[in-house]
Amino acid sequence: MSLSRREFIGIGGGAIAGITLAPGLRLVELARARSPEEAATQMQRWGLLIDIGRCQDCDVCVTACRTENGWYGHNRPATDPQWIRKVTLKDNQTGYVESLPVLCQHCEEPPCVDVCPTGASFKRADGIVLVDKHICIGCRYCMMACPYKARSFVHEDTINQKSYAPRGKGTVESCTLCVHRVDAGKIPACVEACTKDGNQAMVFGDLKDPNSGINKHLAAGPSTPLRPDLNLNTGVRYRGV
Amino acid sequence: MAHAHYRNLEGRSLGFYAVLGLLGAITFAGLGAALYMEHHGHWVTGMSNQIVWGTPHVFAVFLIVAASGALNVASIASVFGRQLYKPLSRLSGLLALTLLAGGLAVLVLDLGRPDRLIVAMTYYNFKSIFAWNILLYTGFFAIVAVYLWMMMERRMNDYSKPAGMFAFLWRLTLTTGTGSIFGFLVARDAYDTAVMAPMFIVMSFAYGLAIYLVVLIASMRWSGRELGDVVFGRLRNLLGVFVAAVLYFVTVYHLTNLYITQRHGIEGFILLNGGAYTKMFWLGQVLIGGAVPLVILFSRLGQSRALVVLASMLVVLGGLAQMYVTIIGGQAYPMPLMPGKEVVASSFFDGMVASYSPSLPEVVLGVGGIGLALVMATFAMKVLPFLPQSLSDADADPHYKAA
């Protein structure tokens, strides 16, 4: 079989195009499970659904978070940090009582990021709200601005720090949505603990993936953010509040 | 008046060195308090994760607000063309600079990481009112310094009017920025209102002039210079008008909140059942800082220099009370997590009034800011001619006729 010059260019060109484009097309498909070395992208938005009906009178989520991230205090409740806490709410009209965990709500429009003078308080492309400990000057304006009281100021020297969750005296900190675990393809420590405990009150996932578990749960029933009046489009939503 | 004559403070008397030494000691005590807080961490203060801004911020914001207000006397001369105020202008510019320096020193020394001040100067998030304020404050220093130069250098005198105009607009913007630190906070019921910006501007008029009057009367008297009734009476009446205007804005602020059902909680807290904050509001802010000074300033009591100095000091104390109620009271009242629901249990003090009592280092740091502002002003009056040689009635007002 002999190829004319024209046929050779045609087939050759097609082959080169295939070799060049195929990995690109493949990459689009792989982007949802990126490696830790790659930057976070807007293709994901990480979120959490907390079902109050399933939330028991326990604090495994709090304990798991503290152990995972090492925010140990000094037995001084007013100044010790709390990245996640259990809160009991009572309906003013009906007296109905319910218990729920409160943590950084990872707002789409975070007031803490708006007010931060240096940009230390920032939102990652995938929606996780974090504090850059290197440029936080400790002004605490973000703590004034956060409607959820989600942030703590490190009032004294830290002990037993984790390498993946750095803390610093004189800077502000809060829930990172276990960004070090999420980047490694795992779920946050609180969610894992709640699931292991059998409560299954927390569902974590990608709010931008129509097929994710969290989106199926959100589509199947009602849910609401805390302080819906502020219209912050939080990444954390609650069912049954 | 055609030509005002200025003269440095002689600054060789024992009294001068005593004043300088006392103010210097207060300043150094403030520095020591800051070192102590930074070394141990903020847990040694009264501040917590509930009350994140405490007594240092009360003093810092007060001084920053007062700084912009202290410039008003100069603005009245340069912008509004009132000749009577012209000899008063240099001291006005000087106090504006030193009060701002004192306030900023307190603010910076209370930071969790004051060593990262350079970060605040090099990384900007332009959506942050704090970031705007960093530019507004540093700009204020530069503009007022140039303004002072144009007032004090005869060859540049012609430019003092445009410089004064620019400084006036800048200071209005600056105080708008300071008020908006609170005005733009959506989370808390005590804040989140546009009235904060104009209210802070009017507060600055009163606080700044009160401090100005005390410094003017003291330095004129202690350096043996005459301060006539014309200038004295004008400044006294002006202070009265400003104090009344502050009360007006406070009334509007609370009336607005009282109309909004959602805000009845915070209003009940401040006005009725907030304990120390309620006392601080009615006794400190309204009675001591408003009503009593008004009676002194607008009655025959106002003939007495001593009582007017007292009234000015009461305005300062009332201003500090107002800052305390605004900054600490506003944080002490809990934020709701869900509309219509109250928090009945939490390990993080949700849903309850946060407790706070000022610690000694905080108070010493705050007072140190006042010390720094005054020691700088005192020293500057010795090295440069800020103070007029005489403010006697004949010097101040060419049309003055002795009765």
Say if strands A236-239 and A46-51 run parallel, antiparallel, or are unpaired: parallel
Residue B92 within a domain: yes
What 3-state class would DSSP assign to A225? coil
Q: Say if CB A179 and CB A124 are below 8 A apart.
A: yes
Cβ within 8 Å, pair B341-A140: no
Residue B263 within a domain: no
Q: Which of A153, A157, A227 sits opposite B337 (nearest CB)?
A: A227
Q: Which amino acid is at B188?
A: R
Q: What's the rounded Cα separation, in Å, for the pair B176 and B195?
A: 10
Report the pLDDT averaged over residues B359-373. Answer: 98
The number of distinct structural domains making up chain B is 1
Confidence of residue A33 (pLDDT cuts 50, 70, 90): low
CA closest to A121 among chain B residues: B125
Contacts of B342 in chain A (CB under 8 A): 89-90, 92
Cβ within 8 Å, pair A143-B48: no
Question: A134 to chain B, minimum CA–CA distance in Å?
Answer: 9
Question: B241 to chain A, minimum CA–CA distance in Å?
Answer: 33
Q: Which of B42, B124, B355 sits opposite A153 (nearest CB)?
A: B42
Q: In the predicted model, is pLDDT for residue A38 greater than 60?
A: yes
Cβ within 8 Å, pair A172-B49: no
**CB < 8 Å from A in window 336-375 of B:** 336-351, 355
Q: Which of A137, A149, A226 sits opposite B111 (nearest CB)?
A: A137
The helix or strand, by DSSP H or E, that contains position A47, with its residue range, turns out to be strand A46-51
Q: What's the rounded Cα separation, in Å, for the pair B19 and A129?
A: 51
Confidence of residue A160 (pLDDT cuts 50, 70, 90): confident
Report the pLDDT averaged over residues B13-23. Answer: 96
**CB < 8 Å from B in window 101-120 of A:** 102, 111, 113-120
Q: What's the rounded Cα separation, in Å, for the pair A14 and B267?
A: 75
Residue B27 within a domain: yes
> Which CATH number goes with the domain that contains B158?
1.20.1630
Residue B1's pLDDT is: 44
Residue B380's pLDDT is: 98
Question: B125 to chain A, minimum CA–CA distance in Å?
Answer: 5
Residue A21's pLDDT is: 55
At B290-329, the pLDDT tens digits run: 999 999 999 999 999 999 999 999 999 999 999 999 999 9
What range defines the domain where residue B93 resides? 10-238+360-386
Q: In the predicted model, is pLDDT for residue A180 greater than 80?
A: yes
At A87-146, the pLDDT tens digits run: 999 999 999 999 999 999 999 999 999 999 999 999 999 999 999 999 999 999 999 999
- Using the Cβ of B123 and the Cβ atoms of chain A, whether some distance falls under 8 Å is answered with yes
Cβ within 8 Å, pair B52-A153: yes
Considering the entire predicted model, what is its pTM? 0.92
Report the pLDDT averaged over residues B330-356. Answer: 94
Report the pLDDT averaged over residues A164-182. Answer: 97
Cβ within 8 Å, pair A87-B343: yes
At B239-276, the pLDDT tens digits run: 999 999 999 999 999 999 999 999 999 999 999 999 99
- Using the Cβ of A52 and the Cβ atoms of chain B, whether some distance falls under 8 Å is answered with no
Question: B54 to chain A, minimum CA–CA distance in Å?
Answer: 11
At B69-120, the pLDDT tens digits run: 999 999 999 999 999 999 999 999 999 999 999 999 999 999 999 999 999 9
The helix or strand, by DSSP H or E, that contains position B393, with its residue range, turns out to be helix B393-396
Cβ within 8 Å, pair B340-A90: no
Q: Which of A76, A114, A241 sits opposite B128 (nearest CB)?
A: A114
Residue B327 within a domain: no
For A27-36, B36-45, B366-375, B393-402, which range has the lowest pLDDT when averaged over its residues? A27-36
Residue B162 within a domain: yes
Q: Is A68 exposed, middle or buried (0-12, 13-18, 19+ CB in 10 A)?
A: buried
Q: In the predicted model, is pLDDT for residue B174 greater than 90?
A: yes
Cβ within 8 Å, pair A145-B350: no
Q: Say if CB A153 and CB B41 are below 8 A apart.
A: no
At B278-292, the pLDDT tens digits run: 999 999 999 999 999
- Using the Cβ of A82 and the Cβ atoms of chain B, whether some distance falls under 8 Å is answered with yes
Contacts of A149 in chain B (CB under 8 A): 49, 335, 348, 350
**CB < 8 Å from A in window 149-208 of B:** 181, 184-188
CB neighbours of B282 closer than 8 A, spacing ≥ 6?
A: B271
For residue B7, how many C-alpha atoms fall within 13 Å in the half-sphere facing its CB?
13
Q: Which residue of B128, B137, B263 to mutate against A (max A Cβ within 10 Å)? A: B128
Question: B196 to chain A, minimum CA–CA distance in Å?
Answer: 16
What 3-state class would DSSP assign to B312? helix
What 3-state class would DSSP assign to A169? coil
Smallest CA-to-CA distance from B39 within A156, A64, A226 is with: A156
Structure tokens at A2: 């002999």
Residue B2's pLDDT is: 47
User: For residues B344-376, b (16+ Cβ closer than 10 Å) or e, as one string?
Assistant: eebebbbbebbebebbebbbbbbbbbbbbbbbb
- Using the Cβ of A148 and the Cβ atoms of chain B, whether some distance falls under 8 Å is answered with yes
For residue A235, how many C-alpha atoms fall within 13 Å in the half-sphere facing its CB?
28
What 3-state class would DSSP assign to B343? strand
Q: Say if CB B68 and CB B93 are below 8 A apart.
A: no
Question: A87 to chain B, minimum CA–CA distance in Å?
Answer: 5
Cβ within 8 Å, pair B339-A120: no
Residue B29 within a domain: yes
Cβ within 8 Å, pair B340-A154: no
Q: Say if CB A99 and CB A119 are below 8 A apart.
A: no
Residue B341 within a domain: no
CA closest to A79 among chain B residues: B48
